[in-house]
Every structure is written in C-alpha cells, then in structure tokens.
Amino acid sequence: MKRGFYTIMGAQFFSSLADNALLIAAIAQLLELDGPAWMIPLLKFFFTVSYVALAAFVGAFSDAFPKGRVMFITNGIKIVGCIMLFFVGYVQFVGIPEYALVLAAYAVVGFGAAAYSPAKYGILTELLPASKLVIANGWIEGLTVVSIILGTVLGGALISPRVASALIAIDIPHIDTGIETPAESAIVVIVGLYFIAAIFNLFIPDTGARYARQQHNPFLLVRDFYVCLVTLWKDKLGQISLAVTTLFWGAGATLQFIVLKWAESHLGLPLDKGAILQGVTAVGIAIGAAMAARLIPLKRSLDTLPAGVVMGTFVVVMIFVSSMPLVYALLVFMGALAGFFVVPMNALLQHRGYVLLSAGHSIAVQNFNENVSILVMLAIYASMIKADLHVNVIIVIFGAFVALTMLAIILRHRYNQSRGDSLHLIGMKTSVKRGFP
C-alpha cells in the first residue's frame, strides 16, 4: 500500500473514534437532562439527516477539491458541533427544552460527517487500483471497527462515575473550565480527538485526481445527483451491492440502540456497561472484515451474500441468551458475519461507482441510500419504543426483517444471473463515467 493510505487510516481512526465516543456522551447528556427514552435513537436520526439532505451536494464538493483538504474542513465542522454540545446547559431558548438542543448540536456533527464521508472513501479509488480495493476496504473497515470498539468503550469509560469525577476535579489555576457533568467532561476529551484527526488530515497527499468543473447551481446539482442515483440502481452489480450496503448500515445503526436497550432490560447493565457490548459486536465485525479481505477477491464478492441471511437469523437468538460468555460469543459471531459480507459489497460498490460515475458522486449516492435506510429504521425503532413494545418483540421483528430482505437480494441476484448478467462486468475496462460539469 502507498504511504498516503496509512495517513488516511490514521485520520479515519481518530475521527471515527471521536464519533463513537461522542454518541455515548450525547446519550449520557440526554439522560442527565431527563430527555424521554424515545429521543435516544433520534440522536442518530438527527446525525444522519444531513447525509440525506446534502447527498446531492457533498459529492460535488468532495470532487471540487483535493480530498485531504475536504476532510480537514469537514472535521472542523464536527469540532463546532462538539463545542455546541458542551454549551447546551448554558444557553437557553424560550420554549425549547435543553434536550432538543442536544439533538440540534449533534445534527451539526452529522453535517460535518456527511461532507467528510465522500472524501474519505472516494480517495481510496483515486489512490489505489481496483485489485486492491477489497484489501483496502478490509483495512479501513477493520480499523474503523477497532475505533468503534475503542470509541464506545472510551465513551462508556468517560461517563463512568470514577473517570468523570477525576476529569471534573481537574483544576486549572485562575480558569473556570465550566465542566460540571460527566457528559461535559467527556465532550472536552472528544474534541481533543477531533483535533488529532485534523492533524492527520493536513498530511493526506494530493492524489492528483481532477474532475470536470463542478456545478454550483443547486437545481442542476440535484438533477445530476438523480442521474447518478438512477445509473447506479440500474447497473446489475450496482443495485445488488447498493441494496446490501443500504440494508447493512440501516440495520447496524438500529442494532446499536437495540443492544443498549437489550443490555438494560434483559441483562440489567447500565449505559457505560452496555456500551461495551457494542464494542464486542465490533470485534466480530473486525474479524469478519479481515477474513473477507484475505479470502474474497472482488470477482467473488457476491458469494458472501448468504452470510447476511444467517446473521439476521441469529439476531433472534439474543432473546434466549443471558449468560455473559454466551452473550459475548453471540455478538462476536453476528459481527463477524456482518463484516464478512459487507466489506466485499463495499469494494464492489466503490468499483462500479467509480467506473460509472466518479469517486465523490458514487460515494454520495451510496451515503444517500444507506442513510435513508438509517432514518427509516431508526424512526420505526423510536416509534416501537414510544409504543412501549418489549425489546424481545423488537429483536424478533428486526432479525426477521434482515434475514428476509437478504434472502430477497439473493433471489434478485440469481434472477440477474439467469438473464446473463454475470460477474465479468466487475473487470470491465470501459468507463461510462460522467464529468458532471
């Protein structure tokens, strides 16, 4: 791998580490402000809205400048959102409860993340040949999963009574830090992580990739985005990989909150301990991602689809498990299945998107679909919580949905094969890429 790839990995690691720790800190802040339980999954909802609302614009923004510069700017937006979270308890707006301000500040962090994403993934297709995309995605996903593990554990540790008390007790002579709660002390540490990510961003190399002058008219940008969206969904390989990644990220975001709720009601674990279970699942994803990177070449990427059906089936097993060793084993196994099928799908989608569109535009289309899925699934989950459905019922519905949807995708792929749409397209050299002037 080129040296610039490792710089990208460093930037991604610290940015993702901060993102995942911040989610736990934001949940803690909502609880400190006595926000209703159904608002907790809305944190991710508000974070994700920007991915959908800005989808038509962030691809063009990503392709208009060197990717490292885009990552630096958008990482700065995340820092602004963190600072807003810190001051939620100190700013009052008439008629607006404080916990609603938490959602608004977290949405700013999501705004930065939405603009950051096309650059961090798009640069891989600029920097590396198609033959290395599965390996690169395996490394990126594996490192991202490590950051998820450490980030969720770090977030849980930062809000734990012992660590939070030590941070709050730090005294700087002649300066009132204003740190009074565990959530506030955690947010200060997390801002520091975003600054480290920003330093890595400064050293990401310019790949030299340049695209046609990007459109500035918002109506034309929306039109071009629609063309990109239709192009990728009409492509036989694009539609399968896009469907899988769309399902995976919607299901993954929802599973984060299901695990926290399950840990509380089924296992009797508080938030800081439940966060560790999210990390356990991420360990499995890292294992599955590493196996896929080692064993699955790009041309065999669709062979991993049955793992998604098995994963959805095993989600239902959660309601029967209460012994902690079995809990850990189940979560690792589920995570491994998820990592094993999503890494090849990401690589396939990136390759087809780069061939048909451009690096930034293809990732923007991918983000749009994945985050619409997250919004819909989180909204349904929040509605289930508000309706007071038992977590076991939610788990069964969720697992059955994932398994049946993956089965439908497999059947669609076999139908495409029966019509002669084979995997030779993966290796096609002809580009129908658009410049999107």
Tell me: the pLDDT tens digits for 362-387?
Answer: 777 887 888 888 888 888 888 888 88
Q: Which two tokens stand for residue 366?
A: 């991918």
Q: What is the DSSP string of 252-292?
A: HHHHHHHHHHHHHHTS---HHHHHHHHHHHHHHHHHHHHHH
> For residue 342, which of 113, 152, 120, 141 has the smallest C-alpha distance?
141
CA distance 124 to 275: 31
Residue burial 125-154, b: 16+ Cβ < 10 Å; e: rest: bbbbebebbbbbbbbbbbbbbbbbbbbbbb
Angstrom distance (rounded) from CA 133 to CA 131: 6
CB neighbour list of residue 427: distance below 8 Å, 6 or more residues apart: 299
Question: What was the pLDDT predicted at 430?
Answer: 41
Report the C-alpha dihedral over residues 43, 47, 48, 51, rounded to 10 degrees: 170
For residue 179, the tally of other CB atoms under 10 A from its CB is 18
pTM recorded for the entire structure: 0.69
- In the block, tokens 């001051």 appear at 87
What pLDDT score was predicted for residue 94? 56
Residue 396 pLDDT: 92
Residue in 315, 180, 325 with CA at minimum distance from that of residue 258: 315
CA distance 194 to 78: 8
Residue 14 has a pLDDT of 92
Give the residue from 244, 265, 236 showing the smallest Cα distance to 347: 244
Instruction: Tell me the C-alpha distance between 365 and 264, whole Å.
Output: 36
* Cα 232 to Cα 357: distance, rounded to the nearest angstrom: 8
Which residues, 6+ apart, have CB-to-CB distance to 247 below 8 Å? Answer: 308, 373, 402, 405, 406, 409
Closest alpha carbon to 289 in 138, 135, 137: 138
Nearest in space to 82 (alpha carbons), one of 170, 200, 195, 166: 195
Q: For the chain, what's the residue count?
A: 437
Residues of the chain scoring pLDDT < 50: 422-437
Q: How many CB atoms lie within 10 A of CB 77?
A: 20
Residue labelled with tokens 């962030």 = 58
The conformation of residue 357, written as its DSSP 8-state character, comes to S
